[in-house]
A = this chain, B = another copy of it.
Amino acid sequence: MDATAPATPHASDQGTSAQASSAEDTCSPYDVFARDCPSRGTLEHVTGRWGSLTLSAISDSTVRFNELRRRVDGVSEKMLSQTLHALERDGLVNRRSQETNPPRVDYCLTPLGHDVARRLRELFDLVEGRMPEVLAAREAYDARGGR
């Protein structure tokens, strides 16, 4: 019942793999472009609507549940909880609860989570910094009636 190393990364062992992008220099057998590769699921946790913001919000701090809710503006209790569970299961987030009263639970990133969060923040910075370009493009697009 143990399988520290999975037999096959994804069922479609060939023919599905898209292009060279990440397969050429990465020797990893995992490919996010393949529909049924497990990496796709993890990628969706990481890039998901709340996953990316949550990871980046934790960053290198140790933070409690409600503080996190405040940081990630707009997230509901339910979704934050759900998101944290998925990230914890994937080994990106550590959860440490102290059975006190009132209860105190702290979240922080694992080393892997930290690496992921760093990439995410680079992406955020890029998007934020270049929003003027994006908005200009939108107006141009709309101005000519979406063509």
Contacts and interface: CB of A to CB of B under 8 A. Distances in A.
B119 A126 contact: yes
Contacts of A137: 89-91, 110
A52 B47 contact: yes
A120 to B, nearest CB: 7
Contact of A91 (B30, B115, B123, B133): B133
B22 A124 contact: yes
Interface in A32-60: 32-35, 38-39, 42-44, 46-49, 52-53, 56-57, 59
B128 A31 contact: yes
A2 interface: yes
Main SS of the interface on chain A?
A: helix
B138 A89 contact: yes
Interface of A: 2-6, 9, 12, 16, 18-19, 21-22, 26, 28, 30-35, 38-39, 42-44, 46-49, 52-53, 56-57, 59, 61, 70-74, 85, 88-92, 110, 112, 115-116, 119-142, 146
Contacts of A53: 32-33
Contacts of A21: 56-57, 59, 121, 124
Given A137-B91, A138-B91, A126 B115 contact: yes
A19 B136 contact: no
A47 B46 CA distance: 9
Contacts of A28: 125, 128-129, 131
